[in-house]
Copies of this chain bind each other. A is one copy, B any other.
């Protein structure tokens, strides 16, 4: 039974890696669709959401099946429960990618505005945290999970800086109010993606160290 369980857990990991790779791509595409003012790319991200939703449901069902079938305990139980939570975070990141793409689709219908910050850099940072958090899960790498957690502050700082600059632009270019308010939302969506990556990293720490670090100060004790 245990060998079957290990095989099924390995398959679950594969599925999660696949889903996380797909979502990472979507975040990047959504961001690039803004930079390139590419409506077709934005629409592709929006239309691709149902695929991610199906993957989430399949992973969730698979976790429940493993729990019911093998009634695992200890580390296997905790791993499967962690996957269920992480799966949920990933799906929400997928939704945020769609939200960004929707904003992007709107922006392509408006006069072009200059984004007063490096959107691509911020997106790469957020999506990088996401991929690395899944890698940390697969490799049970607590050190990396702590590093990811500490990077969340950088994305927050990015977002604050961006918010402040867009606010200045709002006063200078009231005619661009719609686009600028959308730009604020995009920054916030990217920040929330980094938050989800941080949630995942904290799940990894919990899983490996069997202690709960969420809601705790960011001290690396590993």
Contacts and interface: CB of A to CB of B under 8 A. Distances in A.
Interface string A162-186: 0000010011001001100100100
A38 to B, nearest CB: 26
A73 B68 contact: yes
A151 interface: no
Contact of A170 (B74, B78, B170): B170
Nearest to A80: B67
A77 B67 contact: yes
Contacts of A64: 77-78, 81
Contact of A167 (B78, B84, B177): B177
A3 interface: no
Most chain B CB neighbours (cut-off 10 Å) among A56, A61, A77, A215: A215
B88 A67 contact: no
Contact of A67 (B53, B67, B167, B171): B67
Given A71-B73, A170-B177, A174-B174, A212 B57 contact: yes
A202 B178 CA distance: 33
Contact of A81 (B84, B170, B214): B84
A54 B88 CA distance: 21
A67 B81 contact: yes
A7 interface: no
A150 interface: no
Given A64-B78, A71-B73, A174 B171 contact: yes
A143 interface: no
A50 interface: yes
A215 B184 contact: no
A216 to B, nearest CB: 9
30 contacts: A50-B215, A53-B214, A53-B215, A54-B215, A56-B215, A57-B212, A57-B214, A60-B212, A61-B212, A64-B81, A67-B67, A67-B77, A67-B81, A68-B73, A68-B74, A68-B77, A71-B73, A81-B84, A84-B85, A85-B88, A88-B88, A167-B177, A167-B178, A167-B181, A170-B170, A170-B174, A170-B177, A171-B174, A171-B177, A181-B184
